[in-house]
Amino acid sequence: MSRYDPASIEPKWQAAWEEAGTFVASREGDKPKYYVLEMFPYPSGRIHIGHVRNYTMGDVIARYKLSTGHNVLHPMGFDAFGMPAENAAMKSGGHPKTWTYDNIDTMVGQMKPLGFGLDWTRMFATCDPEYYGQQQALFLDFLEKGLVYRKNAVVNWDPVDMTVLANEQVIDGKGWRSGAEVERRELTQWFFKISDYSEELLEALDTLDNWPAKVRLMQENWIGKSRGLEFGFERTDGEAPITVYTTRPDTLMGASFVGISPDHAISKELEAQNPEVAAQLAEMRKGGTTAEALEKAEKLGIDTGIRVKHPLDPNWELPVWIANFILMDYGTGAIFACPAHDPRDYEFATKYELPIIPVFGEDDITEAFVPPKTDKVTYLRGFAGATEQTGDAAVDAAIDLAEKDGWGNGVTKFRLRDWGLSRQRYWGCPIPVVHCDSCGVVPEKKENLPIELPFDNGNEEIDFSIPGNPLDRHPTWRDVACPKCGAPAKRETDTMDTFVDSSWYYARFTAPRAQTPTDLAEAEYWMNVDQYIGGIEHAILHLLYSRFFARAMNITGHLPDKSREPFNALFTQGMVTHAIYQTTGEDGRPVYHFPEDVELRDGKGFLKDGTEVKIIPSAKMSKSKNNVVDPVEIIKAYGADTARWFVLSDSPPERDVEWTASGAEAANKHLSRVFRICAEIAEGDVAPTKEDEALLRETHKAIHDVTMGVESFGFNASIAKLYGFTNALHKSRAGSEVKRFAAKTLAQLMSPMTPHLSEELWQLLGGEGLIANAPWPVADESLLVEDTVTLPIQINGKRRGEMQVARDLAKEEVEKLALAHEAVVKALDGGQPKKLIVVPGRIVNVVV
Partner RNA sequence: GCCCGCGUGGUGGAAUGGUAGACACAGGAGACUUAAAAUCUCCAGGCUUAAUAGGCCGUGCCGGUUCGAGUCCGGCCGCGGGUACCA
Binding-site residue set for ATP: 623
Residue 580 CB, nearest approach to RNA (Å)? 8
Do residues 303 and 277 touch, judged by C-beta distance below 8 A?
Answer: no
Kindly state whether residue 193 participates in binding RNA, applying the rule CB under 7 A.
no
Residue 189 CB, nearest approach to RNA (Å)? 6
Torsion of CA 375, 379, 384, 387, to 10 degrees: 90
Q: Which is nearer to RNA, 277 or 793 (CB)?
A: 793
Q: Which is nearer to RNA, 18 or 711 (CB)?
A: 711
Angle between the 715-731 and 640-648 helix axes, to the nearest 10 degrees? 110
- β-pair partners for 301: 323
Cβ-based neighbours of 828, under 8 Å, separated by 6 or more: 819, 846, 848
Kindly state whether residue 178 participates in binding RNA, applying the rule CB under 7 A.
no
Q: Binders of RNA among 547-576, rule CB under 7 A?
A: 575
CA–CA separation, 272 and 212 (whole Å) = 50
Instruction: Specify the stretch interacting with RNA by CB under 7 A; choose among 230-238, 393-401, 563-571, 799-807.
Output: 799-807
CA–CA separation, 93 and 71 (whole Å) = 45
Q: Binders of RNA among 32-61, rule CB under 7 A?
A: 42
Residue 451 CB, nearest approach to RNA (Å)? 19
Q: Which is nearer to RNA, 207 or 796 (CB)?
A: 796
CA–CA separation, 156 and 436 (whole Å) = 27
Kindly state whether residue 146 participates in binding RNA, applying the rule CB under 7 A.
no
| Identified binder of RNA from the candidate list 724, 783, 803, 833, rule CB under 7 A | 724
Kindly state whether residue 152 participates in binding RNA, applying the rule CB under 7 A.
no
Kindly state whether residue 723 participates in binding RNA, applying the rule CB under 7 A.
yes
Q: What is the DSSP letter of 614?
A: E
Q: Which is nearer to RNA, 360 or 545 (CB)?
A: 545
Q: Which is nearer to RNA, 210 or 290 (CB)?
A: 290
* CA 522 to chain CA mean position, Å: 27
| Identified binder of RNA from the candidate list 6, 50, 82, 767, rule CB under 7 A | 82
Instruction: Specify the stretch interacting with RNA by CB under 7 A; choose among 162-170, 306-314, 384-392, 524-532.
Output: 162-170
Q: Which is nearer to RNA, 37 or 657 (CB)?
A: 657
Residue 312 CB, nearest approach to RNA (Å)? 28
Residue 84 CB, nearest approach to RNA (Å)? 6
| Identified binder of RNA from the candidate list 67, 135, 261, 502, rule CB under 7 A | 502
Q: Binders of RNA among 726-765, rule CB under 7 A?
A: 727, 730-731
Cβ-based neighbours of 669, under 8 Å, separated by 6 or more: none
Q: Binders of RNA among 521-550, rule CB under 7 A?
A: 536-542
Q: How far is CA 384 from CA 317, 410, 417, 525, in A?
A: 21, 14, 32, 57
CA–CA separation, 344 and 259 (whole Å) = 12
| Identified binder of RNA from the candidate list 202, 451, 719, 824, rule CB under 7 A | 719
Q: Which is nearer to RNA, 67 or 390 (CB)?
A: 390
Q: Binders of RNA among 340-379, rule CB under 7 A?
A: 343-344
Q: Binders of RNA among 256-315, rule CB under 7 A?
A: 289-292, 295-296
Kindly state whether residue 660 participates in binding RNA, applying the rule CB under 7 A.
yes
* CA 81 to chain CA mean position, Å: 19
CA–CA separation, 444 and 451 (whole Å) = 9
CA–CA separation, 153 and 218 (whole Å) = 25
Q: Which residues of 370-403 are buried (b: 16+ CB within 10 A; e: fewer)?
A: eeeeeeebebbebbbbeeebbbebbbbbbbebbe
Q: Which is nearer to RNA, 292 or 768 (CB)?
A: 292
Kindly state whether residue 214 participates in binding RNA, applying the rule CB under 7 A.
yes
| Identified binder of RNA from the candidate list 404, 608, 690, 835, rule CB under 7 A | 835
**Beta-strand relationship, 612-620 and 242-246:** unpaired
CA–CA separation, 818 and 813 (whole Å) = 9
Instruction: Specify the stretch interacting with RNA by CB under 7 A; choose among 29-37, 132-140, 270-278, 724-732.
Output: 724-732
Q: Binders of RNA among 571-610, rule CB under 7 A?
A: 575, 577
Please measure the distance between the N-terminal and C-terminal CA atoms of the chain and give it in whole angstroms: 63
Residue 83 CB, nearest approach to RNA (Å)? 4
Do residues 146 and 139 touch, judged by C-beta distance below 8 A?
Answer: no
Do residues 646 and 663 touch, judged by C-beta distance below 8 A?
Answer: yes
Residue 184 CB, nearest approach to RNA (Å)? 11
In the sheet that 570-573 helps form, which strands lie side by side, from edge to edge?
A: 71-73, 33-38, 531-535, 570-573
Kindly state whether residue 839 participates in binding RNA, applying the rule CB under 7 A.
yes
| Identified binder of RNA from the candidate list 62, 137, 155, 772, rule CB under 7 A | 155
CA–CA separation, 561 and 523 (whole Å) = 11
| Identified binder of RNA from the candidate list 176, 222, 525, 606, rule CB under 7 A | 222
| Identified binder of RNA from the candidate list 10, 38, 59, 79, rule CB under 7 A | 79
List strand residue ranges (DSSP E) for 510-659, in order: 531-535, 570-573, 576-584, 590-593, 599-601, 604-606, 612-620, 657-658
Q: Which is nearer to RNA, 307 or 473 (CB)?
A: 473
Residue 761 CB, nearest approach to RNA (Å)? 16
CA–CA separation, 592 and 481 (whole Å) = 48
Cβ-based neighbours of 231, under 8 Å, separated by 6 or more: 243, 244, 311, 402, 407, 408, 409
Q: How far is CA 257 from CA 250, 344, 398, 468, 714, in A?
A: 16, 13, 19, 42, 55
Residue 800 CB, nearest approach to RNA (Å)? 6
Residues 699-718: x/- map of binding to RNA (CB under 7 A)?
---------------x-xx-
Q: Binders of RNA among 95-124, rule CB under 7 A?
A: none
Kindly state whether residue 650 participates in binding RNA, applying the rule CB under 7 A.
yes
**Beta-strand relationship, 576-584 and 590-593:** antiparallel
Question: Does residue 450 have a cis peptide bond before it, meaning omega lies within 30 degrees of 0?
Answer: yes
Kindly state whether residue 620 participates in binding RNA, applying the rule CB under 7 A.
yes
Total residues contacting RNA (rule CB under 7 A)? Answer: 102
| Identified binder of RNA from the candidate list 134, 495, 518, 649, rule CB under 7 A | 649
CA–CA separation, 840 and 164 (whole Å) = 68
Residue 625 CB, nearest approach to RNA (Å)? 9
Q: Which is nearer to RNA, 481 or 661 (CB)?
A: 661
| Identified binder of RNA from the candidate list 168, 269, 405, 711, rule CB under 7 A | 168
Q: Which residues are annotated as a binding site?
A: 623
Q: Which is nearer to RNA, 255 or 844 (CB)?
A: 844
Give the number of residues written for the chain. 848
Kindly state whether residue 825 participates in binding RNA, applying the rule CB under 7 A.
no
Closest to 756 (Cα-Cα) out of 165, 14, 127: 14
Q: Which is nearer to RNA, 552 or 575 (CB)?
A: 575
Cβ-based neighbours of 233, under 8 Å, separated by 6 or more: 241, 242, 243, 244, 258, 308, 309, 310, 311, 318, 320, 336
Q: Binders of RNA among 405-434, rule CB under 7 A?
A: 415-417, 419-420, 422-425
Instruction: Specify the stretch interacting with RNA by CB under 7 A; choose among 394-402, 590-598, 651-659, 699-707.
Output: 651-659
Kindly state whether residue 666 participates in binding RNA, applying the rule CB under 7 A.
yes
Kindly state whether residue 785 participates in binding RNA, applying the rule CB under 7 A.
no
CA–CA separation, 848 and 819 (whole Å) = 11
Q: Which is nearer to RNA, 90 or 439 (CB)?
A: 90
| Identified binder of RNA from the candidate list 204, 365, 555, 837, rule CB under 7 A | 837
